[in-house]
Structure 1
Amino acid sequence: MQTHVIGARERQRRLISGELHEAALSLVEEHGFSETTVDDIAARAGVARRTFFNHYAVKEDAVLGMTVPQVTDEAVETFRTSAADEFTRIVRLFHTVMSTGTGPTHTYARRRALASVHPELRRRILDYVMGTERRIREVLCCADQTHSSATSEALVMLAGTVLRYTFARHPEAAGSPDQTLLDDAVARATETFRTAMEELR
């Protein structure tokens, strides 16, 4: 098995991102979202304001630990070569891409609690999901598809709904460091939606 070696610069980048995320979480928990500023977060993390923007685009992203979702060549290749049915492959691709930019599992419960009381954070999560949808649609447009663009768009949006359902029904899986637990929860949710769609026919 090939081991991915993380260089010193990347380790430092991740360390600072994590410190900014923790600072943002703590400050919002202590003082509220509106009362917390980017300057406050940078100061708590011990970095300059400009360093904050090297890691996060906006304050909401620091609180949620979110970065721009990435579509890797490996994820696209897995999508194209998997023997699973198309809908399952789209859900898996959506899950893989979305996971590249979500916050760390050990802060999931805290992020979830804050998002439940701060609409700004909920809106940012929705923006993130919609951004992921756009990236998945780009992959589908480049792949050999038999569906119309409208059908492909509907499948991508449904895949996003499957994941939201998973996180709502199985928060313990979403916040677990055990990736298998989350993968299993996503697979069960996919089957639940498939059954529901079959029953509507």
Structure 2
Amino acid sequence: MTISQDTAAPPAEESLRDRKPRLTRRAIHVATVNQVHAHGLDQATIAAIAAEAGVSTRTFFNYFASKEDAVVGIAEQELDEEAIAGFLVAPSDGAELAEQVARLLHAAYLLTFNDDEVASLRRRIFAAHPSLLGRQFEKNRRLEAQVAEVVATRIRQHDLEFDSPESPEAIAEMIVLVCSAPLRAAARQLAERDDAGAEAGEDPAVFDRSIRLFLDVMKGPAA
């Protein structure tokens, strides 16, 4: 199976300036997944990947440091600027904050090429090359760190107060760790349902159920 380059729907109100880099980055990622799946990690070449993506090898390296990073989809910035802006101005009630952080994480993961066909081939590549899982974990860690920076900014901008004497950065990191639970739970449910496994966030209905359970648990047991 070879993935076509035009299956990803563009974000709403995306500017031409933002759309071109996104499509180029995705084209390189898809071409890398296709080439590595077809020929193996060692045999797939940057030149063949660039040719399939319709870019130069120089352009490849403008987006990814290596073909391993291109398979995983590692980028310097995983978060959508519009999503960040909306999160920073949202109301700051405690329960709402937890859900908003969980959904910001979800949106960030959905921007990392998790459509069905790409995710399916990428899972097969990870199974054949377990060393790539370390890069996937690093990507997830970096994404969570970026979300934590945004949460810390919101804590400062809204003067949110917590009983803990820890810094906003430490508090934000803990919030992100806690609020990643719905995404992880949804991924586990999908993996158990699908013999091939699943990427976190692929099924919005599963994630929404996970969010509802998370918020219910956060309330504590009924009196």
* Aligned counterparts of 1:195 and 1:117: Cα–Cα separation in 2: 39
Deviation of 1:51 after TM superposition, in Å, equals 1.3
* Residue number in structure 2 paired with 1:59: 67
Alpha carbons of structure 1 residues 5 and 70: separation in structure 2 relative to 1, 3 Å: closer
- The answer to whether the Cα contact below 8 Å between 2:88 and 2:154 also exists between their aligned partners in 1 is no
Return 43-52 or 72-81, whichever deviates more. Answer: 72-81
Alpha carbons of structure 1 residues 88 and 174: separation in structure 2 relative to 1, 3 Å: closer
Give the 5 Å matches for 1:185-200: 185-194=206-215, 198=220
Report the AA paired with residue 57 of structure 2.
Answer: R
Alpha carbons of structure 1 residues 11 and 108: separation in structure 2 relative to 1, 3 Å: same
The normalised TM-score by structure 2 is 0.68
Alpha carbons of structure 1 residues 174 and 111: separation in structure 2 relative to 1, 3 Å: farther
Alpha carbons of structure 1 residues 191 and 99: separation in structure 2 relative to 1, 3 Å: same
Report the AA paired with residue 133 of structure 1.
Answer: E
Give the 5 Å matches for 1:11-30: 12-30=20-38
- The answer to whether the Cα contact below 8 Å between 1:60 and 1:120 also exists between their aligned partners in 2 is no
* Aligned counterparts of 1:18 and 1:71: Cα–Cα separation in 2: 15
* Aligned counterparts of 1:69 and 1:92: Cα–Cα separation in 2: 14
Alpha carbons of structure 1 residues 121 and 155: separation in structure 2 relative to 1, 3 Å: same
User: Which of 109, 113, 118 is 1:103 aligned to?
Assistant: 113
Task: Provide, for residues 48-89 of structure 1, a one-character-per-residue CA deviation record: whole Å limited to 9, x for no partner.
Answer: 211111232331232234533125254343354246522212
Q: Unmatched 5+ residue regions in structure 2?
A: 1-11, 191-197
Return 156-165 or 70-79, whichever deviates more. Answer: 70-79
Identity value in percent: 28
Deviation of 1:192 after TM superposition, in Å, equals 3.2
Alpha carbons of structure 1 residues 13 and 152: separation in structure 2 relative to 1, 3 Å: closer
- The answer to whether the Cα contact below 8 Å between 2:35 and 2:44 also exists between their aligned partners in 1 is yes
* Aligned counterparts of 2:185 and 2:15: Cα–Cα separation in 1: 33
Determine whether 1:35 maps to 2:39: no
* Aligned counterparts of 1:95 and 1:23: Cα–Cα separation in 2: 25
Deviation of 1:91 after TM superposition, in Å, equals 0.6
* Residue number in structure 2 paired with 1:152: 172
* Residue number in structure 1 paired with 2:6: none
* Aligned counterparts of 2:13 and 2:22: Cα–Cα separation in 1: 15
Greater than 6 Å deviation, 4+ residue runs: none
Give the 5 Å matches for 1:112-151: 112-144=123-155, 145-147=160-162, 148-149=166-167, 150-151=170-171
- The answer to whether the Cα contact below 8 Å between 1:129 and 1:160 also exists between their aligned partners in 2 is no
Task: Provide, for residues 123-153 of structure 1, a one-character-per-residue CA deviation record: whole Å limited to 9, x for no partner.
Answer: 2221121111111221222223333444432
- The answer to whether the Cα contact below 8 Å between 1:167 and 1:174 also exists between their aligned partners in 2 is yes
How much is the aligned-residue C-alpha RMSD, in angstroms?
3.1
Q: Unmatched 5+ residue regions in structure 1?
A: 176-180
